[in-house]
Amino acid sequence: MAVFRRTVLRAGLAAPALLPAASRAAMAQDPRRVIRSVPIGDLRTLDPIWTTAYITRNHAYMVWDTLFALDANNRPQPQMVGGFETSGDGRTWTFQLRAGLRWHDDAPVRAADCVASIRRWGQKDGLGRALMALTDGIEARDDRTFVLRLKRAVGFVLDALGKIDSNVPFMMPERLARTDANTAITEVIGSGPFRFRRDEWIPGAKVVYERFAGYVPRAEPASQAAGGKVVKVDRVESIYTPDAATAANGLITGELDLLETLSHDLVPLLQRAREVTVAPNDPLGYQLFMVINHLHPPFDRPEARKAVQMAVDQSDFMAAVVGQHTPSRACAAVFGCGADDDDRFQALGWPAQDLAKARALLRESGYGGQPVVVMDPADNAILHPGALMAADTLKRIGVNVDLIAMDWSALVQRRASKAPPQQGGWNIFVTNATLTGIASPLLNIFTRHCDDAWFGWPCNPRVPELTSAWAMETDATRRQAIRTELERVHVAYVTSIPLGQYRSVIAYRNALKGLIPGPALFYWNVEKA
């Protein structure tokens, strides 16, 4: 087993200054009113509909709001919506917005804004596309009321509008929401609890959010992404710090307040540090998986994909990525394994690990030794060791690996390229997804095929057929049977390769109170004691 480690920071090592002068000035004014955190990556793309990247999703939760949101029990609750009703046949839904909602430019939020936002989101998101395919019409009735008319009654309307993971249906002003869904917006005007300070945004260094005084929170207590989003600080400064040891030392010395991700090698050091807490944040956790480009050799051939699948040992990946200090487990299912499930390898037809057979299968696929591009997000504490382990696994079965280091934001841009791997494209990268976000065929954007395919562009016609059948099925037992059949198809076709499940941890100064567990870091309800 190959395990990759970072250099562990010694407690006495002095950290370089992390904060630009403007940030230090804000601290000097009132440090109790400023949260300084290290994000999961460098924010380069601002549009959470155009991309599924979690760094953009996290940014969006700061500045945009949603019509519905999932509470701590993962049940959709009204958020921007004040009230709603359905017709007796379940085909007409009428929604009324809460009073007092305003955009950050002080214009009122209108029903027309929400209609345009739903339509744009419905062009990109899997669940949104499914909802739009069943929509007969959606229009504003007045400034605070809009109506959704369906071709037939379905049971996932609120689940869709309250979706918590990428792509989240964030509401935007109509003029922005009318932007083509395949063109990223660059202007950030939200109605959420924080305002984006574009004038202080330094890509590759810092993102600043300030409390939006015009935001009217709900009266209910905060509960995951739902409830009252009460902001208790003046600013959140997101400080991109790609060196994990530097970030850890900044937390220990008090120059930083929170790390949204951390290298597992640094967990023991931070657990021993005074005034620091290390704890899981997402109640369900994540799946790590390998994304494969189906367009170009060698992985346009199913034998080559199956060879890699046969070479993978999930325990190796979990040891490299999260180590022994973070709970992890094996799971063969693309929709994740619940607490009561076994690993499901046998049930889903995952082949036993056999490196000799994998080498032979790779040769049979016609692989001729051409370089295979593996993208390595070297600034990401979770995905970087995953990429290194992927490269090592490929080498063990005779693949000529071209490991290309880049930051996560560069990877997010490059993964959209369909060019040949040696001409700016790629063959493989490792990423992760929340279990909340992959739990069903409509939620899991990474398992879409053919016309709806995510990056990697797999196409097995059986997948959209089964996905549609699952969405339309009303019998719970039959739905479960369809989902299991769909998982077997994904494993046999090797859409992607699950690499294990884990609960990630965050680290923060004990002065922070009120952190809300969830698949993203939510900064409302948080104060510095």
Element holding 375 (H helix, E strand)? strand 372-377
Q: The domain 286-502 belongs to what CATH superfamily?
A: Dipeptide-binding Protein; Domain 3 (3.10.105.10)
For range 442-469, the mean pLDDT: 96
Find all residues with CB under 8 Å of 28, minimum gap 6, and list them. none
CA dihedral 244, 268, 316, 399 (to 10 degrees): 20
**With DSSP H G I counted as helix, E B as strand and the rest as coil, what are the percentages for the chain, rounded to 5?**
30, 20, 45
Please tell me the predicted confidence (pLDDT) of residue 29.
61
DSSP summary character for residue 265: G
CA dihedral 426, 432, 438, 439 (to 10 degrees): 140
Cα–Cα dist 357/398, whole Å: 12
Percent of the chain with pLDDT over 90: 91
Query: Is the pLDDT at 9 greater than 70, yes or no?
Result: no
Strands (E), 90-222: 92-97, 135-142, 145-150, 170-171, 194-196, 206-211
Q: pLDDT higher for 463 or 327? A: 463
Element holding 115 (H helix, E strand)? helix 111-124
**Tokens in use for 445?**
């954007």
What SS3 state is found at 16?
A: coil
**Tokens in use for 114?**
């929400």
> In CATH terms, are 26-41+193-282+505-528 and 286-502 the same topology?
no
- pLDDT of 136-176, one tens digit each? 999 999 999 999 999 999 989 999 999 999 999 999 999 99
Question: Could you tell me the residue ranges of all domains in the chain?
Answer: 26-41+193-282+505-528, 63-177, 286-502
Beta bridge partners of 77: 69
The angle that helices 355-364 and 302-311 make with each other, rounded to 10 degrees, is: 170
Report DSSP letters for 446-512, one per residue: GG--GGG--TT----THHHHHHHHHHH---HHHHHHHHHHHHHHHHHHTSEEEEEEE--EEEEETTE
Cα–Cα dist 314/190, whole Å: 41
**Other CB atoms closer than 10 Å to residue 404's CB: what's the count?**
17
For range 101-113, the mean pLDDT: 98
Burial class (CB in 10 A: 0-12, 13-18, 19+), 147: middle
Q: Are strands 401-406 and 496-502 parallel, antiparallel or unpaired?
A: unpaired
Please tell me the predicted confidence (pLDDT) of residue 3.
41
What SS3 state is found at 403?
A: strand
- Please state which of the ranges 26-35, 117-126, 215-224 shows the lowest mean pLDDT: 26-35
- pLDDT of 417-434, one tens digit each? 999 999 999 999 999 999
Q: Tally the residues of the chain.
A: 529
| Amino acid at residue number 219 | A
Cα–Cα distance list, 27 to 15, 82, 86, 248, 276 (Å): 18, 38, 50, 19, 19
Cα–Cα distance list, 53 to 95, 105, 520 (Å): 29, 26, 12
Cα–Cα dist 350/353, whole Å: 9
Please tell me the predicted confidence (pLDDT) of residue 28.
54
| Amino acid at residue number 327 | P
Query: Is the pLDDT at 208 greater than 90, yes or no?
Result: yes
Q: pLDDT higher for 488 or 2? A: 488
Please tell me the predicted confidence (pLDDT) of residue 183.
97
Which CATH entry fits the domain spanning 26-41+193-282+505-528: 3.30.70.20, 3.30.565.10, 3.60.20.40, 3.40.190.10? 3.40.190.10
**Predicted confidence band at 89 (pLDDT cuts at 50, 70, 90)?**
very high
Nearest to 497 by CA among 376, 363, 389, 408: 389
Query: Is the pLDDT at 306 greater than 70, yes or no?
Result: yes
Q: Which CATH class is domain 63-177?
A: alpha beta
Please tell me the predicted confidence (pLDDT) of residue 18.
56
Q: What is the mean pLDDT of the chain?
A: 94
What SS3 state is found at 145?
A: strand
For range 498-523, the mean pLDDT: 96
Nearest to 253 by CA among 9, 528, 505: 9
Q: Do 246 and 18 form a contact (C-beta atoms < 8 A)?
A: yes
**Predicted confidence band at 2 (pLDDT cuts at 50, 70, 90)?**
very low
Cα–Cα distance list, 414 to 204, 344, 349, 426, 456 (Å): 17, 33, 32, 8, 12
Cα–Cα dist 375/397, whole Å: 18
Query: Is the pLDDT at 480 greater than 90, yes or no?
Result: yes
Q: Do 505 and 267 form a contact (C-beta atoms < 8 A)?
A: yes
Q: Are strands 235-239 and 206-211 parallel, antiparallel or unpaired?
A: antiparallel
Burial class (CB in 10 A: 0-12, 13-18, 19+), 324: exposed
| Amino acid at residue number 121 | W
